[in-house]
Structure 1
């Protein structure tokens, strides 16, 4: 997202998917802030092909340079970026607390406190209702965990408006004990249709890592892109990571074999 053509394509795709001009403007302002804080050679100009885990930068060096230029301000991660774009298509119950899930979301909440404008008029309460961990099923089966996540969201009144833009969430199962068994959105981005039938995926890789606009042929390719990056554990008493599209398991979801499993 460093060149005018990519930014124009992104802006047009977001607008065509019903995302407001204000939300697009706030995203591009934060993209400019990040890009100005790191070395230009670390970023791409236009689309470049590569493996899902390929980067042109060392994340630790990038973090050091971000901190040098922005002090203690953490910046923005995947959840904040996706919610900033997609929040108008989500509702949550009016009785939700201002914050919840602080043990998992404390860094997110720190940024939202420092820069509430990035919420685009939405509330921290709705953000936390969507992203705070929910109680997982006592199972390693994906179908059971999907039901558990849906039930957790339903209890909080979380619902999604159907539209062209879709929220894509990589859900991680953490189990540290019989009483600490949760599902948590470890990565999230916004999926947009492209004019040629392919897809665009908008994401922020991490707090001090870049924004990305990724072009993919279909949801299976999106699945494999995300699973290669986030399905990094195996042979545990937890379910494999799974991918939600809004509040349903994404069509095309599959586990991807790796050399270790």
Structure 2
């Protein structure tokens, strides 16, 4: 958590003048001045592009997830790996565990989400996740190099006294967000709606995993 907060502070101290941080307010669609953010970030950090959703989620949850030592497919993690290397974010063990947690998973050439969800559940059944600090993943179907599944976005959901708090880093450029929800279902709906267009011809629509289980929104 300390490492995560340090990343948040560095980001906000670097680009906070764009008007990112503030008190909780009713949630509306957020649009950020990515061009201005990028110029401020690059001026301070050079070719280190910062951190994204996967890097921050691993930073928060690495002590809460038991990760099996299996072979990983990191073909789609090239930007993450470059950021981790240039930012000196993880040691060798953490890098390996990160690669396994967010490995590309083989699937079939179908638009049936149930088929893809079964492959993700089969992959994650070898992991032990935390019941309170939950990893919510938006899984994307990709077929540029064979059919595979990939965690396109991810964040951490924790219970609060009156509902749930979802913590995420939107993209390398875009900021951290903390959103309060009254139920898990509301958070699932937010993620499903926000990332519904992360698909293409012949591809399945994105779907949500709550830890190691598929969230059936139908």
Q: TM-score, normalised by structure 1?
A: 0.76
Cα distance in 2, alignment partners of residues 235 and 121 from structure 1: 35
Give the Cα separation in 2 of the matches to 1:92 and 1:134.
Answer: 15
Equivalent of 2:33, from 58, 65, 69? 58
The CA distance in 2 between the partners of 1:228 and 1:173, in whole Å, is 16
1:138 and 2:109 are equivalent in the alignment? yes
The 3 A distance-change label for structure 1 pair 120 and 212 is farther
Q: How far did residue 111 of structure 1 move?
A: 2.0
CA deviations 1:11-46 (Å, max 9, x no partner) are xxxxxxxxxxxxx11111111110111143421311
- Distance change in 2, residues 1:153/1:220 (3 Å): closer
Match status 1:49 vs 2:46: no
Aligned counterparts of 1:210 and 1:41: Cα–Cα separation in 2? 10
Q: Which runs of 5+ in 2 are unaligned?
A: none
**Map of 1:75-224 to 2, 5 A cutoff?**
75-94=50-69, 96=71, 100-101=73-74, 103-116=75-88, 118-119=89-90, 122-153=93-124, 158-176=126-144, 180-196=146-162, 198-224=163-189
Number of aligned residue pairs: give it.
218
1:25 aligns with 2:5: no
**Hey, what does 1:72 align to over in structure 2?**
47
Structure 1, 232-241 or 162-171: larger mean CA deviation? 232-241
Gaps (5+ residues) in structure 1? 1-23, 256-261
CA distance in 1: counterparts of 2:208 and 2:57, whole angstroms: 15
Q: In structure 2, what is the Cα distance between the partners aligned to 1:150 and 1:42? A: 39
Q: Report which of the two structures shows the higher radius of gyration computed on alpha carbons.
A: 1
